[in-house]
Structure 1
Amino acid sequence: MKLQHVCILFAISFLVDSKKSVKIPEDVKKGEKLIQELLKGIELKDKHKIGDVFDEKFIYEGCKKKYNKDETITLVSAVDEQKAYMIERNTEIVTTGPYKFATSLSDQFDKLQSSFVVSKDWKLISGKTTSC
């Protein structure tokens, strides 16, 4: 009888530990929520909603040019629904530190990797293409 108790306790502790190891970090959840808000703005063609995810001083450093918040909003709002769907399905988010995350967007032809910094209230402060 004692052996069964030990086996059951071991199994329960293993399940609890495995559940912890697959738990999605809070930063990843917040990053996913931020991307969902951005995609909703694209779907609605709502520049205000798109702009809500960016800090006022946002700068994105592309491979050849830097974009401020307004330029970024213009570029993002020009994305069509098909591209937005592709972004949603193919973007992987990885936390790289507190308030920092990286994204990797892949399709059959291309791979775009970027890194982002967000404020404590989860507004995008800056971004950079890392796959130039």
Structure 2
Amino acid sequence: MEDILVPIVAIVGVFGFPVALLWVIMELRKVNLRNRERMSLISQGIIPEEEIKQKTNPNRFVSLRNGIVLIGIAVGILVGFSITEGMSLSDEKAFWIYTSSILLFLGIGYLVYFFTTRNMKAVPETAGLLQE
């Protein structure tokens, strides 16, 4: 195992480190350029658009979906655990019971989300923005 792992780590280190270092340098230059641009605008008396705070409404549909999905995953784990403990299955069979029950309840969670939000209207993006 070590005979294979050492060359892989070496190759990733030789090629990956310079790429990561280049990415960090480019990001720092981008931040520095944006800062100089903003400072130039401010010195001219212009307020950059990023400085104007806009109040937006949070997307409640995403929170609802995430909540239902997490509940589905938790119920799937509980059902899988109950089945495997109740039937005293081997580890391989228990893995498939866990996996299938999690996916089943995850799918049920998505269906609940779909039917819950089917008739709801989305909040427009401009609702809640501060007007000048």
> Higher RCO, 1 or 2 (CA under 8 Å, sep at least 6)?
2
Task: State which structure, 1 or 2, has the greater radius of gyration over its C-alpha atoms.
Answer: 2
Category of TM-score, reference length = shorter chain:
under 0.3
Normalising to structure 1: TM-score of the pair?
A: 0.28
Write 1 or 2 for the structure with the bigger share of strand: 1
Write 1 or 2 for the structure with the bigger share of helix: 2
